[in-house]
């Protein structure tokens, strides 16, 4: 019985392994959150991933001659997915923070935009802790915005955390939230949609807090993967200097999203 | 409605079906081995299998999926490395099949064990008396005789498998529910897409029911008809 | 009496505690000790209160949805077993739809689908229901109640149909009214028949409760996700979570077996 079980187990493992296929050593799996996050990463109707961040990483990979494949994973498990080698690089608008750097490493920042608050059109308020007192605020789970809201908007009635940014936006439109805090560009994109136009408008940018919001967005790599990190950094530097970065950005934005001075947040 | 998203949903459905079929087969393999282990295995095998079926049936599928999705694939690679094979890259599809198959295996074990126990003992004794080797007995007697008892339970497991694939949306695997969520998120037409996905799932269930009743009738051929299973 | 039970217990224990089991238990204990000492548990003091709240919320949702779901399952089963077709067909359709689609999808359909329709009507926004419709838990309760009702309704159909015709005919011969027959004969007998399945259905329902975390209800599953996201630990919170669910399942099974032992089963 034992030997039967053993061969059976081996057969099972090999079966699973065959399904998986032997690892291609040179392929870099780019992890993006499996959710629409326009204009950075979002699936189109054919299931292809499009957006500024996709174009950006494609350019970096082309520059460094890396064989990159986009691999969507759940946002709330994206760091474990990296550490258990399901993906090799996180390119999903992840802000560089000290807290995350305890677990993973980051490339140099590749964009940095302010953090905004949006809310229903028929209510007038700003983006200060006083304005948000007694309000229900929606944020995406395990983002810098969730940390920021909990630290600064202590007077809020409730801070609700959502698995995806899209769900928070939808609940704001559905009247279940009084405000949503997130990246200003992603929120701007939402306000451009029919749903966003109908319900909500921009309330303002939150006060800077470098400790929480960090210096910008970087690509996440495993701590031991220094070679990949160096390559990505070199790639970012190269496309910044050869104009490719600006060329891609112009397709999506009419301003510079790289963010110059540190105070811009 | 944004055109083209229907195709995305169908691709999602295809992935769901792939996983459900794979998981059901893997579950059947584990279940058959598990049932024989539980019935004819040694005391240690029996106890370990009891732990396996009890734990899997007591913990929510969602928790098991998360646990196995992160830990299980890690473990396979470590075991493969220990057995001298090279590390493999486990695709989302394989991981999904493995995770759901592991869960299905626990339920299949119980279904198949019950079905084997339901075979009139005399049939097996007669086969033994004829001096049939175990392999032949399994093929000629045990499996054909247990099928009518096992099929209703296994059919139910297939239906559960098709629905459990939706849980893989939570770990970011692209199947029908996640495809729906993405389509709904991009187009903002939540109600319509969720309804459409519901219709697709329902169609799979209803179509399966038709096939299942045919298979059931086939497996019961030559047996007295039973009106109500309960 | 007490002596006899003591001997009985001792005999059962010695039967159960065979040498190989002792070895297995020791291995299991060793694994638990490894888990306790080699994995990180320093986050526990910070989250245990939240965890208790989460467990309480999961149990509360479980109790409410099982009770409401069963209350709904009785008419669903009755309509299918003996109702006129304009009752039987909708009940059948309801059960088929609930059982034929994933609960996760039903939950999202209600919360994100219907939820995005409601605010478009000002009279809903101004009604007394709005403060409830704004929150997530009513959607969770409705979805889980429907799910329980759908599965248990099918069981109740079989249970109602399985009550021997003679019982009902005898009741009619006694001149009982239809309502009295239902209340005194049909329902109790069907209930006893369905009782053994209730344990399984309740455990299945417990295993469905973590899905509510996906619509921002903070149950114990959501708390464990939060720990995972805050600490970047994967295994520890999930292992503890699995242990919690196993404990709750064990307690549920124990309670139900007590109840079943108490109710005299006299099925004709």
Q: What is the CATH number of the domain that holds A229?
A: 3.40.190.10
Beta bridge partners of A42: A50
Q: Within 10 A of C128 (CB to CB), how many other CB atoms are there? A: 6
Q: Is A12 within the bounds of a domain?
A: no
CA distance B123 to chain C (A): 31
pLDDT given at position C11: 73
Residue A15 has pLDDT above 60, yes or no: no
Strand pairing class (A89-90; A42-43): unpaired
Whether A121 and A198 map to the same domain: the answer is: yes
Percent of chain C with pLDDT over 70: 96
Q: Is A5 within the bounds of a domain?
A: no
Beta bridge partners of A111: A217
Percent of chain A with pLDDT over 90: 77
Residue C231 contacts A, CB cutoff 8 Å: no
pLDDT given at position C153: 94
* Total structural domains within chain A: 2
Q: Is A162 within the bounds of a domain?
A: yes
Whether A163 and A197 map to the same domain: the answer is: yes
C neighbours by CB contacts (3+ pairs under 8 Å): A, B
Residue of C111, C229, C234 to mutate, testing the A interface (most A Cβ within 10 Å of its Cβ): C229
Q: Is A166 within the bounds of a domain?
A: yes
Chain A neighbors of B171, CB-CB under 8 A: 73-74, 77
Query: Which H helix or E strand runs over A218?
Result: strand A217-221
- Label residue C243 exposed, middle or buried (CB < 10 Å: 0-12, 13-18, 19+): middle
Map tokens 């992603």 to a residue.
A186
Residue C214 contacts B, CB cutoff 8 Å: yes
Overall average pLDDT of the C176-196 stretch:
90
Whether A208 and A120 map to the same domain: the answer is: yes
Whether A100 and A220 map to the same domain: the answer is: yes
Whether A248 and A233 map to the same domain: the answer is: yes
Q: Which domain holds residue A228?
A: 24-112+215-258
Overall average pLDDT of the C152-175 stretch:
92
Q: Looking at domain B21-165, does it have CATH number 1.10.3720.10?
A: yes
Percent of chain C with pLDDT over 90: 64
Residues in contact with A94: Cβ distance below 8 Å, sequence separation at least 6, in sequence order: A78, A100, A106, A217, A218, A219, A220
B11-40: per-residue pLDDT in tens?
999 999 999 999 999 999 999 999 999 998
B145-169: per-residue pLDDT in tens?
898 899 999 999 999 999 999 999 9
Overall average pLDDT of the C37-60 stretch:
94
CA distance B65 to chain C (A): 10
Q: Is A61 within the bounds of a domain?
A: yes
Measured distance CA(C155)–CA(C201) in Å, rounded: 10
CA distance C160 to chain B (A): 12
A226-235, B213-222, C51-60, C237-246: which range is least confident on average? B213-222
Stronger pLDDT, C120 or B56, i.e. the higher one: B56
CA distance A141 to chain C (A): 8
Which residue in C21, C17, C31, C13 sits closest to B42, CA to CA?
C21
Q: How many CB pairs below 8 Å do chains A and C form together?
A: 45
Query: Which H helix or E strand runs over B12?
Result: helix B5-40
Strand pairing class (A49-50; A42-43): antiparallel
Residue A260 has pLDDT above 60, yes or no: no
Which residue in C has a C-alpha nearest to residue B58's C-alpha?
A: C246
B neighbours by CB contacts (3+ pairs under 8 Å): A, C
| Nearest neighbour of C118 by CB, restricted to A141, A167, A174 | A174
Measured distance CA(A83)–CA(A265) in Å, rounded: 28
> What's the distance, Cα to Cα, between the start and end of chain A in Å?
64
Strand pairing class (A136-140; A158-162): parallel
CB B66 within 8 A of CB C229: no
If pLDDT is split at 50, 70 and 90, which confidence band does B230 have?
A: very low
Residue B215 has pLDDT above 80, yes or no: yes
Which residue in C has a C-alpha nearest to residue A138's C-alpha?
A: C216
Q: Is A155 within the bounds of a domain?
A: yes
Which residue in B has a C-alpha nearest to residue A20's C-alpha?
A: B90
CATH number of C46-262, picked from 3.40.1190.20, 1.10.3720.10, 3.90.1300.10, 3.30.470.10 = 1.10.3720.10
Residue C59 contacts B, CB cutoff 8 Å: no
Residue B171 has pLDDT above 90, yes or no: no
B74-102: per-residue pLDDT in tens?
777 778 878 877 767 777 788 889 989 99
Residue A192 has pLDDT above 80, yes or no: yes
Residue A21 has pLDDT above 50, yes or no: no
Chain A neighbors of B69, CB-CB under 8 A: 77
Residue C83 has pLDDT above 90, yes or no: no
**C235-262 helix and B43-58 helix, angle to the nearest 10 degrees:** 90
Residue A19 contacts B, CB cutoff 8 Å: yes
If pLDDT is split at 50, 70 and 90, which confidence band does C3 have?
A: low
């Amino acid at each position: 019985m034992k030997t039967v079980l053993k061969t059976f187990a081996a057969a099972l493992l090999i079966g699973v392994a065959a399904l998986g296929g032997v690892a291609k050593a040179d392929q870099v799996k780019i992890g993006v959150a499996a959710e629409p996050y326009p204009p950075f990463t979002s699936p189109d109707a054919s299931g292809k991933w499009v957006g500024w961040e996709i174009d950006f990483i494609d350019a970096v990979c082309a520059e460094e001659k890396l064989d990159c494949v986009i691999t969507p994973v759940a946002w709330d498990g994206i760091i474990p997915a990296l550490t258990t080698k399901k993906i090799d690089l996180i390119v999903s608008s992840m802000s560089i923070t000290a807290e995350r750097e305890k677990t993973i490493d980051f490339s140099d920042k590749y964009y940095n935009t302010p953090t905004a608050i949006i809310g229903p059109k028929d209510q007038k308020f700003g983006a200060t802790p006083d304005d948000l007192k007694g309000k229900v605020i929606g944020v995406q789970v395990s983002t810098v915005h969730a940390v920021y809201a909990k630290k600064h908007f202590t007077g809020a009635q409730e801070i609700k955390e959502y698995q995806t940014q899209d769900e928070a936006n939808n609940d704001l439109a559905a009247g279940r939230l009084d405000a949503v805090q997130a990246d200003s560009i992603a929120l701007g994109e939402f306000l451009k949609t029919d749903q966003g136009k109908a319900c909500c408008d921009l309330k303002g940018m939150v006060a800077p807090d470098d400790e929480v919001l960090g210096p910008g967005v970087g690509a996440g790599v495993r701590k031991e993967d220094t070679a990949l990190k160096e390559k990505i950094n070199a790639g970012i530097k190269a496309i910044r200097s050869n104009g490719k970065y600006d060329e891609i950005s112009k397709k999506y934005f009419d301003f510079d999203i790289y963010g110059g001075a540190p105070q811009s947040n | 409605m944004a055109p083209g998203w229907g195709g995305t949903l169908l691709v999602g459905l295809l992935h769901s079906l792939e996983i459900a079929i794979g998981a059901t087969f893997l579950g059947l393999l584990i279940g058959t081995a598990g049932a024989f282990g539980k019935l004819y295995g040694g005391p240690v095998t029996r106890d370990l299998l009891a732990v396996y079926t009890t734990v899997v049936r007591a913990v929510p599928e969602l928790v098991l999926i998360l646990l196995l999705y992160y830990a299980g694939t890690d473990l396979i690679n470590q075991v493969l490395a220990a057995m001298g094979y090279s590390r493999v890259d486990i695709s989302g599809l394989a991981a999904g099949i493995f995770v759901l198959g592991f869960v299905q295996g626990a339920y299949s074990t119980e279904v198949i064990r019950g079905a084997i126990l339901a075979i009139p003992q005399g049939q097996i004794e007669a086969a033994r008396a004829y001096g049939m080797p175990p392999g032949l007995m399994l093929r000629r007697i045990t499996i054909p005789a247990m099928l009518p008892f096992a099929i209703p339970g296994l059919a139910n497991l297939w239906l559960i498998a098709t629905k459990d694939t939706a849980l893989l949306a939570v770990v970011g695997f692209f199947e029908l529910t996640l495809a729906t969520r993405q389509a709904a998120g991009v187009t903002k037409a939540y109600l319509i897409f969720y309804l459409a996905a519901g219709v697709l799932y329902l169609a799979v269930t209803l179509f399966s029911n038709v096939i299942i009743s045919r298979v059931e009738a086939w497996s019961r051929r030559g047996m007295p008809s039973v009106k109500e299973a309960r | 009496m007490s002596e006899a039970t003591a001997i009985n217990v001792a005999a059962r224990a010695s039967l159960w505690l065979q040498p190989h089991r002792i070895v297995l238990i020791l291995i299991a204990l060793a694994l638990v000790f490894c888990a306790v000492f080699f994995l990180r548990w320093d986050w526990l003091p910070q989250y245990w209160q939240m965890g208790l709240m989460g467990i309480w919320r999961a149990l509360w949702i479980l109790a409410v949805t099982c009770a409401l779901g069963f209350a709904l399952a009785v008419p669903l089963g009755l309509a299918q077993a003996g109702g006129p077709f304009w009752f039987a067909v909708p009940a059948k359709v309801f059960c088929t739809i609930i059982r034929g689609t994933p609960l996760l999808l039903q939950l999202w359909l209600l919360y994100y689908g219907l939820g995005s329709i409601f605010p478009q009507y000002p009279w809903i926004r101004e009604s007394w229901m709005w403060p409830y419709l704004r929150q997530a838990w009513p959607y969770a309760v409705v979805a889980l109640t429907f799910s329980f009702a759908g599965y248990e309704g099918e069981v109740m159909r079989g249970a109602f149909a399985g009550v021997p015709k003679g019982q009902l005919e005898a009741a009619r011969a006694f001149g009982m009214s239809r309502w009295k027959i239902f209340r005194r004969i049909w329902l109790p007998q069907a209930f006893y028949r369905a009782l053994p399945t209730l344990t399984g259905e309740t455990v299945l329902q417990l295993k469905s409760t973590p899905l509510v975390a996906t619509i921002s209800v903070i149950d114990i599953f959501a708390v464990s996700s939060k720990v995972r996201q805050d600490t970047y630990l994967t295994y520890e919170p999930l292992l503890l979570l699995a242990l919690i669910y196993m404990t709750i399942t064990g307690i549920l099974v124990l309670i139900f077996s007590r109840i079943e032992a108490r109710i005299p089963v006299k099925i004709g």
